[in-house]
């Protein structure tokens, strides 16, 4: 497992291991993905996820296969594969654990969580544990600031985390215990998640709630107070189930604007 336990700057990691798992079945699925799009090259992103589901990372063989199916050059495929951080050049463990260390999550404890996990797992950023179970990475933003500090496991959210709950989470994953996202599906392996991102559903998408209380608080408050939003039709109020905002009649002589600070503080 030495190849998995390297740093981003380690030059000893071979880019190609020569044992590609790209098969005719994989190529057929790539062509199936390409057929979904009016312009075939639009299929490149999901095709790269398919490569990762098979190879465990983006390999030269995977790049060549994408280029062949889409009629692109290897350079064009590589340009995309090296631009997005979700595409990996080194093998990923069974579970990709991401800790948000961007501004709000950092203030709320994200850095402490990341440091605790590095110590607990004995790995650094973008490294994989010796047993090949966990790859740890700090993420710039998980787009879930209302639940800070947040983590993701194979792109499923875990909210309001602490160093203690984070270590318990990775321990459960390594032990093979069933783990469920509080706002999503039961956690599968990283390769299985990559196949879903390639456009081959596994039936887990509708598991669990998709929106939490923090995300829906503004909508609940708007409904309680009968707030409406401008409809874009001459300032006429939109239905109550539209985007929440103060009613024009609450602000004489003014068009509908952002919610008053005083209103947002006086939640019953």
| pLDDT per position as a tens digit, 205-215 | 777 776 778 77
If asked whether residues 112 and 171 sit together in one domain, one would say yes
Pairwise CA distance, residues 202 & 196, whole Å: 7
Question: Does 120 fall in a domain?
Answer: yes
If asked whether residues 22 and 105 sit together in one domain, one would say no
Residues 29-72 have pLDDT tens digits of 999 999 999 999 999 999 999 999 999 999 999 999 999 999 99
Nearest to 57 by CA among 85, 33, 79: 85
- Tell how far CA 120 is from the center of its chain: 23
CATH number, domain containing residue 72 = 1.10.10
Question: Does 243 fall in a domain?
Answer: yes
If asked whether residues 72 and 101 sit together in one domain, one would say no
Domain encompassing residue 132: 95-195
Instruction: Please give the pLDDT value at position 106.
Output: 93
- For the question of whether the overall pTM of this predicted structure is more than 0.85, the answer is no
As a whole number of Å, the CA-based R_g of the chain is: 23
Quick one: angle between helices 44-55 and 60-70, nearest 10?
A: 150
Peptide bond into 149 cis (omega under 30): yes
If asked whether residues 99 and 76 sit together in one domain, one would say no
Q: Which residues contact 110 (CB under 8 A, 6 or more apart)?
A: 99, 100, 101, 102, 148, 149, 150
If asked whether residues 220 and 157 sit together in one domain, one would say no
Residue 156 pLDDT level (bands cut at 50, 70, 90): very high
If asked whether residues 76 and 149 sit together in one domain, one would say no
End residue of a domain, out of 81, 108, 142: 81
**Main-chain phi, psi angles of 188, to 5 degrees:** -105, -175
CATH number, domain containing residue 103 = 3.40.30.10
Highest mean pLDDT among 12-16, 32-36, 214-218, 258-262: 32-36
If asked whether residues 189 and 115 sit together in one domain, one would say yes
Question: Does 4 fall in a domain?
Answer: no
Pairwise CA distance, residues 246 & 260, whole Å: 8
């Amino acid at each position: 497992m030495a190849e998995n336990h390297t740093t981003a700057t380690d030059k000893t990691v071979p880019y190609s291991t020569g044992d590609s798992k790209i098969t005719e079945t994989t190529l057929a699925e790539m062509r199936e993905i390409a057929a979904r799009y009016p312009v075939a090259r639009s299929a490149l992103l999901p095709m790269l996820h398919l490569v990762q589901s098979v190879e465990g990372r983006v390999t030269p063989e995977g790049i060549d296969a994408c280029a062949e199916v889409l009629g692109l050059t290897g350079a064009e495929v590589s340009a995309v594969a090296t631009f997005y951080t979700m595409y990996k050049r080194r093998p990923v463990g069974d579970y990709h654990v991401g800790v948000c260390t961007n501004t709000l999550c950092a203030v709320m404890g994200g850095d402490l969580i990341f440091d605790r996990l590095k110590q607990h797992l004995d790995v650094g950023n973008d490294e994989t544990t010796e047993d090949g179970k966990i790859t740890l990475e700090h993420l710039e933003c998980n787009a879930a600031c209302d639940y800070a500090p947040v983590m993701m496991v194979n792109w499923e959210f875990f909210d309001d985390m602490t160093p203690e709950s984070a270590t318990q989470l990775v321990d459960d994953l390594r032990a093979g215990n069933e783990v469920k996202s509080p706002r999503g599906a039961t956690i599968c392996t990283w390769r299985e998640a990559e196949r879903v991102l390639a456009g081959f559903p596994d039936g887990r998408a509708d598991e669990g709630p998709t929106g939490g209380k923090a995300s829906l608080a503004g909508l609940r408050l708007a409904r309680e107070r009968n707030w409406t939003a401008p409809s874009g039709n001459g300032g006429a109020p939109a239905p109550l189930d539209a985007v929440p905002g103060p009613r024009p009649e609450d602000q004489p002589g003014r068009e509908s604007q952002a919610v008053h600070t005083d209103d947002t503080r006086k939640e019953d």
